[in-house]
Chain A
Amino acid sequence: MNWLEFLKYLFVMAGVTYLIRVLPYVFMRKEVKNRFFKSFLLYVPYTVLAAMTIPAILFATGSIYSAIAGLLVAVIVALFEKGLLTVAISSCVAVLAVELIQKFIL
């Protein structure tokens, strides 16, 4: 991507993120008590990550089969509550294994 186009996006992205963090830090004096708003914000990280992961993960690798393997392995390892890194590495290994099988065996 050329730098001019990139910097335009970067400026907006970093600017909005900075203002969201800093304006309330400087100006807000009281805790937010609104139950609806707090609940909403509590759910946002999970829903955002879920919407970004599915179905995008299915198209993130060389083939849909390796992607499905990566997804399934990640979910299973995560169910055992292993750390972030363990889940991520298991998922990568599953993807790589399936892609190697597809390339050299099938």
Chain B
Amino acid sequence: MSSFRKGFTDGIPIGLGYLAVSFSFGILAVAGGLNVWQATLISMTNLTSAGQFAGLTIMLSRGSIIEMIVSQFVINLRYSLMSISMSQHIDKSMNLPRKLFYGEFHTDEIFAVGMGRPEKLNHKYFLGVIIAPYIGWSLGTFLGAVCGEILPAMITSALGVALYGMFIAIIVPPMKHSYKISIVVAIAIALSLCFNFIPLLKNVSSGFSIIICAVVASIFGALVFPVDDEKKESVADNDNTKGDKK
């Protein structure tokens, strides 16, 4: 099988998954006051879930540019680690212009399938692997945004919860397998509640409060429960647990 075909095949399940997640992003974006094209444009230029969602929150609350920069930096910082790992896993065909282009498409899932390949990857693999995820992510947002504009409020309000549902689906299973993740997540939630309900703290804008909650809880985790392996699964594995991971 050619590198392109391998990549394309690897990308298809990712693209289908993205279609669903970005659909709910589109719904939320339109519910918040963006138009269909603006919602779609965000997905076409960012290709992140948590980062985009935080960015959307900041946009809609008319947050500051500093807030936007800091939030995107912190939330997407993990991509730099992925890019560094990926740079060890590519062959000579990945020259500078290609790196500048394909680097944009490093998402958690594309990174995972790429690194899962035993061989060093060439540019044709990347060309293949990005197609379905990129189309899925952009098209899903577009469809979600269009539906958000035409469906009745009760339906969109129910669909709006879908993105949170997916976030919960990402957070809960690792918590089940790792007390470390559970504690760190609990701290983030406790802080987040403080920032939403305690006077004075309530005045901190939503973008900054997300960053503060995430950074403080993660620093606590890194200090108290440091992890050795680079793989995400390792936190759970350290607890001697099993579990099928995506």
Contacts and interface: CB of A to CB of B under 8 A. Distances in A.
Contacts, number: 302
Interface of A (DSSP majority class): helix
A96 B243 CA distance: 31
Given A41-B78, A62-B154, A24 B214 contact: no
A103 to B, nearest CB: 8
B90 to A, nearest CB: 9
Contacts of A87: 165-166, 168-169
Given A39-B221, A42-B235, A91-B162, A52 B57 contact: yes
Contacts of A91: 161-162, 164-165, 168
A106 interface: no
Looking at chain A, what size class is its interface with the partner chain? 35 or more
Interface of A: 1, 3, 5-6, 8-10, 12-14, 16-18, 20-26, 28-32, 35-57, 60-62, 66-67, 70-71, 74-75, 77-79, 81-93, 95-96, 99-100, 103
Contact of B73 (A16, A32, A86, A90): A16
Contacts of B58: 9
A38 B221 CA distance: 11
Interface of B: 17, 20-21, 24, 33-35, 38, 41-42, 45-48, 50-55, 57-60, 62, 65, 68-69, 72-88, 96, 99-100, 103-104, 106, 108, 153-155, 157-176, 181, 184-185, 187-189, 191-193, 196-197, 209-210, 213-215, 217-219, 221-223, 225-228, 230, 232, 234-235, 243-244, 246
